[in-house]
Amino acid sequence: MSIVLAIESSCDETAVAVVRGECGVAAEILSSEISSQIPLHQPYGGVVPELASRNHSLILRPLVETALKNAGVTIGQIDAFAATAGPGLASSLLIGNTAAKAMACAMRKPFLAINHLEGHLLSPFVAGSQVPPHIALIISGGHTLLLRVDAASSYQKLGSTLDDAAGEAFDKVAKMIGLPYPGGPNIERSALTGNPQRFAFPRGLLHEPHLNFSFSGLKTSVLYTLPKLADLEADTPDLCASFQEAVIDVLLQKSLRAVRESGLKHLALSGGVSLNRALRRAFQSTCEKDGFTLSLSDPSLCTDNAAMIAFAALLRHLDGQHDSLETPIHPNLPLVS
């Protein structure tokens, strides 16, 4: 049985988690602590890197102490230390990465540098004892990525966004409309009372033979629609519902095509955008109708968190993989080349 402590600080959330597990047995999250910075960045309408890194520095040590206390373990009982190495904001990544390396060095234990996207990718399977072959869709603020997963650490890229990520499109459209940051949850909330058929927004690259995504044209279409509205406040629910429906339609159809072409019959969703309830319902109903297995991350593991990083690190640690303390951060670290 091994215990891993991991730090996630790739953007504006400071997170520390302790996870325990062994080969063939479901991992156990002993503690998962997250300190949100949303109130700090809300007045600016987005993340301010300098503000994010400064807050990481202030909160990280007490958060590590809280994670250890709530896990019921001492730092001496940790078998390996891990941190997100990228992708993310360089100034934020450095804080968590340096702290994890320092603890690994001081305790003479292994260090693991984890790809943030791999954390998301594996998060639907934290409660299981293995990662089955499947098609994975990672949808977050900065990434929209479709992959074939044959096993943990064995990934093939099938498609990605050519411009804006799905979450980025949500945030930008929310800002256009005048909804507060973060945009995704506010668009979802407004869409609850809207008519998704009111505006015929484009489905970018939907009928192209490849599995890449594009949301820039959809965002532009919303921008051009705004001046035509007589009452933006009254039309906002319909606008949000129609925009959301267009995004979901593209994500769903591309993912289903990937599943059918792969022959795997198993699809997994992860990332912050996968919290969207309309999106979850659409994927669940369609997969049930078509006879596909759908794995969803627990809501607590969808947004940035350290439990998913600790789980990814645990799998690598149990496989005998470790990284040098000289392993650098990589703000643009790819999951697959």
Tell me how far apart the alpha carbons of residues 206 and 181 are, in angstroms, rounded to a whole number: 28
For residue 105, tell me if it sits in a domain.
Answer: yes
The count of residues in the chain is 337
Range of the domain at 262: 134-297
Kind and range of the H or E run holding 86: strand 80-86
Q: Taking a C-beta distance cutoff of 8 angstroms, is the pair 128, 26 a contact? A: yes
Q: Residue 61: its pLDDT value, please?
A: 97
Classify residue 123 by its DSSP letter: G
**Crossing angle, helix 49-71 and helix 90-107, to 10 degrees?**
30
* Segment 55-68, tens digit of pLDDT: 999 999 999 999 99
CATH number at residue 169: 3.30.420.40
* 164 and 108 share one domain: no
Residue 194 predicted with pLDDT over 90: yes
Tell me how far apart the alpha carbons of residues 256 and 261 are, in angstroms, rounded to a whole number: 9
Of residues 74, 77, 79, 83, the one with CA closest to residue 102: 83
* Segment 73-116, tens digit of pLDDT: 999 999 999 999 999 999 999 999 999 999 999 999 999 999 99
* 73 and 213 share one domain: no
Q: Is 45 exposed, middle or buried (0-12, 13-18, 19+ CB in 10 A)?
A: middle
For residue 24, tell me if it sits in a domain.
Answer: yes
* 108 and 209 share one domain: no
Q: Residue 47: its pLDDT value, please?
A: 87
Number of structural domains (the chain) is 2
* 75 and 221 share one domain: no
pLDDT-wise least confident of 35-44, 251-260, 318-327: 35-44
Residue 40 predicted with pLDDT over 90: no
